[in-house]
Amino acid sequence: MIAELQCVVLDCSEPLELARFYRSLLGGAVNQEDRRWAVGEEWATLHTPSGLVLAFQRVTPYQPPRWPDASRPQQFHLDFGVPDLDQAQEQALASGATLLDDGAGERSWSVLADPAGHPFCLVRH
């Protein structure tokens, strides 16, 4: 092993706002004290209950991906396992997500975007 994953970093225009959005989905602590990162106007973190750390970095000018438009690709996406897809989707939308694809017919997954435009999937487990 060469390295250990420290966190996943998402570019955005409003780091604190995006950290709070993901806290509404995953729980956890926004900007928890951690010697590895200094938080502030340009950087925010979310320490989730599972131990995963998401970080949010201000980029100016930020241009969100346009799923599934290849001219502004998603670059990466996060998959979140959920027991009740409909309930999870409703809660994500109420927290500020945008529905991109509801998985028509199959309904074992849906694709949403966070407030900064990053696509993420809710996957029934």
pLDDT in tens, 20-75: 999 999 999 999 999 888 889 999 999 999 999 999 999 999 999 988 888 888 77
Classify residue 52 by burial, with Cβ atoms within 10 Å: 0-12, 13-18, 19+. middle
Pair 36, 43: CB distance under 8 Å: no
Structural domains of the chain, with CATH: 8-58 (3.30.720), 78-124 (3.10.180.10)
Rounded CA separation 85/58 (Å): 31
pLDDT greater than 90 at residue 5: no
Tokens 């999937």 found at: 121
pLDDT value of position 57: 93
What mean pLDDT, rounded, does the chain reach? 90
**DSSP E strands: which ranges in the chain?**
8-12, 29-30, 43-47, 53-58, 78-82, 98-101, 109-113, 119-124
Report residue 2's pLDDT band, with 50, 70 and 90 as the boundaries: low
